[in-house]
Structure 1
Amino acid sequence: MDALFGGSMTNLLAFSGPWGQEFEWGHLGLIGLLIVLEGVLSIDNALVLGLLAKRLPKAQQPRALTYGLVGAFVFRFIAIATASYLLRWWVVKLLGGGYLLYVALKHFFFETQEEVDETITSDAAGQPRIVERTTGRELTDTEEEVEIAERVPVPVSEEVMRKEEAAARVSARKFWSTVLVIELTDIAFAIDSILAAIALVGTPPKGHPETAPHPQLWVVIAGGILGVILMRFAAVLFIKLLEKFPRFETAAYLLVCVIGGKLLADWWFNSTTKTVLDFHSPHSPAFWTFWIAMLVSFCVGFIRSKPKPEAAA
């Protein structure tokens, strides 16, 4: 990170804090990157909550959304609390890298190619919603079902997908089925968030005591807390960013893909006793390969989409 954020100056300004934590100005760059990832993932999380809750009768929607938001906060805080333990487990790199690659590749290659040209915007309450780009119309029930299937990383039962009113007993069963899917989705997004942070801080330096906290654990905690804050307060800002730069969502999933690949490479080539790929030294090609891929992925978000030609009358 020194080569990216000031060379030897970061060493000059580095200092040790409580519980063995290390603070460098370069770490602010990591937190800035986490803010972008957390912001876009928070929008996707909120979109899924809204689309799933919309399948329920109107009287039940506010309660389902409340459960969803509470679950999102709780599971992210649990992820933050377990981060110090996850950073010590080598197998987390294998499972986490595979999961992040699955999430990214599912987004790019296994989603239905829709005819509707959609965009993310906000409603009167400031909550994210998906509308047709040129006309601003809301999606049909069928189009919403496609969006739910694409964005929810857990299976959704047909009962949850049905929107029609039902008898009280069936309605209650459908409500709790929907809440279950919402909570599982919250868990998935919390895992995305914490795994991305873990991948960016990497493994502790050689000779670091196994029982001591990771020296950059504070970066992971800061990223997780920012995710909770962004989910509640800053979603509108990122929605406006997506309205101006629609490819930013693509950039976020490219970043997730690169981070997942880095975790798998770290697991495959490196171990607690031998390091083949050094992602932390500016003298290593692996360092530059990773950060150039991250920079290119980030820049993709600022490429403006070409307007689609209007169909001839």
Structure 2
Amino acid sequence: MSVISLKDVSKNFGKTEALKGVYLELQKGEILGFIGPNGAGKTTTIRIILGILKGAGDSKVFGLDPWKDAIEIHKNLSYVPGDVNLWPNLTGGEVIDLFLKLKKQKNSNYKEELIEKFDFDPRKKCRTYSKGNRQKVALISALAADVDLYIFDEPTSGLDPLMESIFQEEVHRIKREGKSILLSSHILSEVEKLCGSISIIKDGTIIESGPLAELRHLTMSKIKVRTRKPLSDFESNHAVHDFHINEGLTEFSVDGKNLGEIISLISKYDILTLETQPPTLEELFMSHYERTIQ
């Protein structure tokens, strides 16, 4: 059974179609990257998963209806939004304790470890905190809880690079524990480091979904090669793009599905050095995004 399962989920705000038949699956022990441009429908989808909004279609979390069974679902779920609002007169430590108490969590030892890792002062009033420190309150509260599902919506917003790396370490930790994670982020390098699968949403529709390794085959890899014999006729090959030679180094891009064929052809020219670079997530995202603009 999927931890999260959305099938043909739609949501309208008046005459505006925010979601148009969204399909989304998160399996146990998986980290799913949920990406798309601003206004694509990411946050609306997450709010339906959390039971904050009611959408048309079939929505399930732990096999339960998030609208009808939100209280039960939230006992086993931690959520971090991208813009955290806190009680101004409580200290950060009091807010963390409150969130953990609501989930009946007693892992105070790990809470203290997280406070130290994130270099956070829990004694100050929340009204004095910067955006980054408010974000740390939400992250520590979520990561200190022993639950089966973690939902992060732009979780590192306002954090410096060191704190981002600590967050990434914590995500790897909960993944090793067999937990499930839905990560929505505009930082594609972060998604690329953490996620095994991605779903790309645009204009309220999932335009691509699947394991990142498989999706990379749908776009081009970059090749840098030095050969003893000149690479003749390669520029005219249908699978080769952006071909050029600079001081004996030949560079070009090749369609993922033709990569094996091209490597085999190159081997006939006595390879001296060969470097292949798979497409980055940003390149993959842009190729799919631009393809749907046509």
Task: Determine if the TM-score, normalized by the shorter chain, exceeds 0.5.
Answer: no
Q: Output the TM-score relative to the length of structure 2.
A: 0.25
Structure having the larger proportion of residues in helix: 1
1 or 2 for the larger relative contact order (CA 8 Å, sep ≥6)? 1
Please tell me whether Structure 1 or Structure 2 has the larger radius of gyration of its CA atoms: 2
Q: Output the TM-score relative to the length of structure 1.
A: 0.24
